[in-house]
Amino acid sequence: MKLNKKICNQCGELNIIWKNDGGKRFCKRCWSAHSAKSKPNPTAKQKRLPQRSPKRSKQEAEYSKLRKEFLTKYSMCQAHLPQVCMQISTDVHHMKGRIGDLLLDQTYWLSLCRGCHYWIEMRPLEAKELGFSINRLDK
């Protein structure tokens, strides 16, 4: 296969044309130089938004301490669901959710084993009937 050589618009030499850009022909060497010049300079990297606000980070640090104390105080599962309960509590269930100040409100906490906590989270209607969950809109 014979390749046709043409005149490069950049260097004016007879070469194999590597790129045709807007009607201008470039050989490989000239195109490399041309494309390097035409690339825009990268702007400053955009900062990522933090996953948590400083206020929420403080709340979670306090929650970690309170959770540990709560699980020490209530070491046995408070749900005792038949054929599910593992007796020893490992989780804190937030009956009204974790939004805002509810994260630290211990009046809505339950000390649960992993099995009971999973059961409550997977069956929200039954959990509300049994009193293990509360609607956030109720006062």
pLDDT digits (tens, 9 = 90+) for 1-51: 567 788 888 888 888 887 888 888 888 888 887 666 666 666 677 788 889
Boundaries of domain holding 64: 55-130
- The pLDDT value given to residue 35: 66
Please state the domain count of the chain.
Answer: 2
Q: By three-state DSSP, how is residue 41 classified?
A: coil
Assess if residue 136 is contained within a domain. no
In total, the chain counts a number of residues equal to: 139
Nearest CA-CA partner of 93 in 134, 65, 60: 134
When pLDDT is averaged across residues 116-128 and rounded to a whole number, the result is 95
Task: Specify if 48 maps to a domain.
Answer: no
Residues 61, 34 share a domain:
no
Contact predicate 49/65, CB 8 Å: no
Can you tell me which residue has the tokens 């109720």? Answer: 138
Segment 86-95 mean pLDDT: 94
The reply to whether 49 falls in a domain is no
- Do 28 and 73 share a domain, yes or no? no
In what order do the strands lie in the sheet containing 24-27?
5-7, 14-21, 24-27
Sheet strands (E) in the chain: 5-7, 14-21, 24-27, 91-94, 109-112
